[in-house]
Chain A
Amino acid sequence: MPEPTHALAEQFDDLEQQRQASTIGMWVFLATEVIFFGALITGYTEYRASYYQAWAAASKHLSVVFGAIMTILLLSSSFTMAMAVHFARLGGRKRLALCLLLTILLGAVFVGMKFMEWHDHYQRHEVPGMGFEFPGPNAREAQLFFSFYFAMTGFHALHMIVGIGILAVLTGLALLGRLAPPRHVPVDIAGLYWHFVDIVWIFLFPLLYLVDLHHK
């Protein structure tokens, strides 16, 4: 979407109205995203209830340490994002760009690690539909777990990549000085999106990595 030349689009009366509209619009959008991921989580919940043992066994094939590090990365990126929003409101151009860059970096490392993990699964024949192998009696249900694992992390990673793209554009704009108040609202909005993607992962981490770890 091209940036409006004026800070105020013509359908609005004042900047505050415009800011509120954008913010509410984003929250409404996030509500739809909740249901989007929610459909997956619902399926996950049903099968986890039906095939608990298989899912516990399959979950042990994920690396908790890896997952925890990724969680930490993503939480930190949320922090830098919050700082970006902070500086955008204050009008610190360089600091804004720096925070955005840090956020992109953390996010990119997260996605990179995700790809590494997927690659590992691929090498261990843990990708459903592609010569899936699983030791033990529950191979069929474990494959179901991995189907959900890939769908959930896949859609999450897709959101991350979109988010990184948005932040990259914003970084450019920030450096050009085009996000100075009162035109900082796009940073607010992108921040909401980024935090939402973070929240999704906050749930995916225990759902996927932490099933029944106490049983060996």
Chain B
Amino acid sequence: MWNFPLFPQQASTSARSTDALFFFLLGVMLFFAVLIFVLVFIFAIKYRRRDTSYVPPVIVQLVSLEAAWIAIPFGLVIVIFAWGTLLYFEHRSPPPGAIEMYVVGKQWMWKTQHPEGQREINTLHVPVGRPVKLIMTSEDVIHSFFVPAFRVKQDVLPGRYTSLWFQATAAGEYHLFCSQYCGTDHAQMIGTVVAMEDADYQRWLGGGAAEGTMASAGERLFNRLGCATCHLESGQGRGPALGGIYGRGIGLANGRVATADEDYLRESILNPGAKIVGGYPNVMPTYQGQVTEEQLMQLMAYIKSVKP
């Protein structure tokens, strides 16, 4: 019973960098907490009331001392802030070439899909040593994808995409928690992240998905929903060609430029009138209510895969 953990497993690259900063802060915290406790203790004991005729001296203030205890914490927090912000950028910038996996949260389960097409529920298999980027959304309320061993967490919102990335460093099974309160079974919206050596992961993938890769599923949808009738690869159709648009700046009819990220693609499909591509009429119908979150993600995987 006494062999309970006091410190979480370190199983990702960001776990190491997070803990490094945490230990620095722990040092700062210990220093100040001990300083205050010790000073209060010493003063209280040393100057305890013994003699009622003793009149304590009048010390109104010491500006130099005040300046010191404003300046020193100030200097320290600048360091903490800078370090924390750099770490945050590291957390928020997936390295190029990360494997893109898709996550949909709903009350109260996690649905995940690999680019190769495998779907899982409440589990996610990932390879060790390769960066993985998760593109996530929710079907209902806000959830949060939290893997303590990786020190990653990101809220998952309905109507939008959020993402996070990690690179596992040790094979094993790790807790996956939903950490944003989402209703009755919030505490049961848990699962496992299985990190596997790359070879094992490839073998696991080898099982293959019946419906093929996400992009090919997306392509089938693209044809079935009639997108292909307007979005011809030649660019001669009624709508613009979609090859290679992902990540590019798109000149809009209102003169602004929008980056074609996941949220843009989503909006273009569900609410095409919101941002009109320059030079095209506003004729694309909305697909609101006709595609599920997962199908949207497949469409997106397809659009990303089309070469210009």
Residues of A participating in the B interface, judged by any CB pair closer than 8 Å:
51, 53-54, 136-138, 140-141
| Chain B positions 263-293 with a Cβ under 8 Å from a chain A Cβ | 271-274, 282, 286, 288
* CA of A51 to CA of B254, assembled, Å: 12
* CA of A67 to CA of B226, assembled, Å: 45
Chain B residues, Cβ within 8 Å of A136: 273
Other than the known A137-B271, A138-B273, A140-B288, what 6 A-B pairs have Cβ atoms closer than 8 Å? A53-B254, A54-B274, A136-B273, A137-B282, A137-B286, A138-B274
* Nearest CB in chain B to that of A50: its residue: B274
Chain A residues, Cβ within 8 Å of B286: 137
* CA of A141 to CA of B274, assembled, Å: 9
Tell me the minimal C-beta distance from A142 to chain B in angstroms.
Answer: 11
Q: Give 16 A-B contacts (CB < 8 Å), ordered by A residue.
A: A51-B274, A53-B254, A53-B273, A53-B274, A54-B274, A136-B273, A137-B271, A137-B272, A137-B273, A137-B282, A137-B286, A138-B273, A138-B274, A140-B271, A140-B288, A141-B274
* CA of A189 to CA of B140, assembled, Å: 48
Tell me the minimal C-beta distance from A57 to chain B in angstroms.
Answer: 10
* Nearest CB in chain A to that of B288: its residue: A140
* CA of A54 to CA of B282, assembled, Å: 14
Tell me the minimal C-beta distance from A53 to chain B in angstroms.
Answer: 7
* Nearest CB in chain A to that of B270: its residue: A140
Chain A residues, Cβ within 8 Å of B271: 137, 140
* CA of A54 to CA of B254, assembled, Å: 13
Residues of B participating in the A interface, judged by any CB pair closer than 8 Å:
254, 271-274, 282, 286, 288
* CA of A137 to CA of B282, assembled, Å: 9
* CA of A128 to CA of B274, assembled, Å: 20
Tell me the minimal C-beta distance from A138 to chain B in angstroms.
Answer: 6
Chain B residues, Cβ within 8 Å of A54: 274
Chain B residues, Cβ within 8 Å of A51: 274
* CA of A133 to CA of B97, assembled, Å: 46
* Nearest CB in chain A to that of B272: its residue: A137
Q: Among A51, A140, A141, which residue has the most Cβ atoms of chain B within 10 A?
A: A140
* Nearest CB in chain A to that of B284: its residue: A137
Tell me the minimal C-beta distance from B30 to chain A in angstroms.
Answer: 40
Tell me the minimal C-beta distance from A139 to chain B in angstroms.
Answer: 10
* CA of A138 to CA of B254, assembled, Å: 16
Tell me the minimal C-beta distance from B230 to chain A in angstroms.
Answer: 16
Tell me the minimal C-beta distance from B288 to chain A in angstroms.
Answer: 8
* CA of A137 to CA of B288, assembled, Å: 12
* CA of A51 to CA of B271, assembled, Å: 11
Tell me the minimal C-beta distance from B272 to chain A in angstroms.
Answer: 7
Chain A residues, Cβ within 8 Å of B254: 53
* CA of A138 to CA of B282, assembled, Å: 12
* CA of A69 to CA of B286, assembled, Å: 39
* CA of A163 to CA of B248, assembled, Å: 55
* CA of A54 to CA of B273, assembled, Å: 9
* CA of A131 to CA of B286, assembled, Å: 20
* CA of A53 to CA of B274, assembled, Å: 7
* CA of A51 to CA of B272, assembled, Å: 12
Interface pairs A-B: 10 shortest CB-CB: A137-B273, A138-B273, A137-B282, A51-B274, A140-B271, A137-B286, A137-B272, A53-B274, A53-B273, A141-B274
Chain B residues, Cβ within 8 Å of A141: 274
Q: Among B254, B273, B282, which residue has the most Cβ atoms of chain A within 10 A?
A: B273
* CA of A136 to CA of B282, assembled, Å: 11
* Nearest CB in chain A to that of B273: its residue: A137
* CA of A51 to CA of B273, assembled, Å: 10
* Nearest CB in chain B to that of A137: its residue: B273
Tell me the minimal C-beta distance from B273 to chain A in angstroms.
Answer: 3
Chain A residues, Cβ within 8 Å of B273: 53, 136-138
* CA of A141 to CA of B271, assembled, Å: 10
Tell me the minimal C-beta distance from B290 to chain A in angstroms.
Answer: 15
Tell me the minimal C-beta distance from B92 to chain A in angstroms.
Answer: 22
Chain B residues, Cβ within 8 Å of A137: 271-273, 282, 286
Tell me the minimal C-beta distance from B176 to chain A in angstroms.
Answer: 32
* CA of A42 to CA of B18, assembled, Å: 35
* CA of A138 to CA of B270, assembled, Å: 11
Chain B residues, Cβ within 8 Å of A53: 254, 273-274
Tell me the minimal C-beta distance from A60 to chain B in angstroms.
Answer: 16
* Nearest CB in chain B to that of A138: its residue: B273
Chain A residues, Cβ within 8 Å of B274: 51, 53-54, 138, 141
Tell me the minimal C-beta distance from A132 to chain B in angstroms.
Answer: 15
* CA of A137 to CA of B271, assembled, Å: 8
Tell me the minimal C-beta distance from B283 to chain A in angstroms.
Answer: 10
Chain B residues, Cβ within 8 Å of A138: 273-274
